[in-house]
Structure 1
Amino acid sequence: MSDMFSVKGYGAIITGGASGIGLAFAEALAEGGARVAILDLDSNSLNLQVNRLSAKGFDVRGRELDVTNRKEIDQAFAHIAAEFGKVDVVFANAGIDPGIGFSNPDGTRSQEGAIENYEDERWDRNIDVNLNGVFATIRAAARHMKGSGGGSIVVTTSVAAYLNEGMVGAAYMAAKAGAAHLARNAALELAHFNIRVNAIAPGFIVTNIGGGWLKQPQIQKSIGDMIPIGRIGSADDLKGLALFLASQASSYITGAQIPIDGGGSLGMRRT
């Protein structure tokens, strides 16, 4: 069983890997013996985390990258593939804040998030990072995996990909739904080449997204009381699923979108 879940010696690339969920992915694979390349736009966090993980003896390196720059993505993948010899696992994880939706937390209507007031720049930026960035990452991964016997691509979507939520910005929900369907279509196309494509759909997870509002104890308790499992999630809760989808333990799974939300998408409990 340990061999089935092993990623030892794998070459892994993680976008948006310097914090939050992406960092949890990087830690899980590095601790499992993979060679990990973290790509992130935040150079300060990138250097901090690469140095921290390297000091623990893990094989980790970093590269500053904007996933909206497709030329940068192609160059980064080419460089890392040459360094590793092959790319076995890619996490298309980079994403940005969903922004406010048409509803405020107190149930009142938000004029800023209303569809008739939605700003073009806000829409375009969200689609560019959360959807176009995923496309560019999957494309780059496929180019390298096709010639090396296959691999595993994992896309970070969200429960917002299939649930309606008034407090979440429309662009984010559209982008995540698009990324989920893109992952399924890529899975169908690339299965012939032994490339698996799956998605992880987190629910409420404590990260820096949204200005880190989920880090507030009162918010955590309020939301946690409604989640069936009884608490809000942490990035560490995603490590097991990440390792499963990266390893041969999931060799017969492709095109799946797996929610990891404490049961929240089943329905919120009442307390």
Structure 2
Amino acid sequence: MHKVTFKFENSEDIIVFAAFGESLLEVARKTNVAIDAPCSGNASCGKCRVKLVGGELESKKTRHITDEDYADGWRLACVSAINADVEVLVPDIASAYRSRMKVADLSSPEELKIFSDAKEQILEAGIELKNTLEILNISMDQPNLDDTMPDNERFTRAIKALTGIERIRVPYSVLKKLPDVLRESGFRVKIIVRKIETDIFVYDVFPETEEVIVGGIAIDIGTTTVSAILINMLDGSILAKGSSGNGQIRYGADVINRIIESAKPGGKDRLQKAVIDET
């Protein structure tokens, strides 16, 4: 194993260890060192320039680096392999992909107007904004020595009596909390359901006095930006919004290069980790 030291102009060094022959760009990616590589390491863009400042690095000369720059220590990380302990300077310009990550302030008046205008246009087009989610208030008689009906049966019978629908589905997550919620609330509860003509699915159960929000989330995974919006599914109001740069960008600035990356060994896992675990 060889020691690899990444040096920066405005922050502390990062030291890692790499095996002989490993690509410097891949070592940087595994260490979350930001090196811009729009071509995903195919040596075609020339953006992943780093400067060799100590040790040794096996790196062939490419058309993207002049003879003068090469003599001065400049190398492309994607065509550089670890063959000894090495120190490289990662210039700020090599992290330029961060400037391409557009992070929107989704609470600004301009952004909110985009959402409200889109909603109005949908309604004007005759598309009804609705879904099958509802909040129902359910009241039951409390059990006693003469009425020992099990909680789950008492619960489903009350839903049937209120809605007239025979098929009631209650998942384990609801059954597990049902006894405590029923007794905390005097058998008067509020439930979130998905209701259609022949079927009711119970998503959750709460005491009758609790304020309940039925939330739905939409996530847009863009090439450079990932945005999410949380809305109230009953009235369409916006509850929360967020935006962040897509970490996949360090594996290529466009979709084609990310497809190329996905075909490499472990490429799919790296792309998934970048967007799911990091972003």
- Which TM-score applies when normalising by structure 2? 0.20
More strand by share: 2
Higher RCO (C-alpha under 8 Å, 6+ residues apart): 1
Structure showing greater radius of gyration is 2
- Which TM-score applies when normalising by structure 1? 0.20
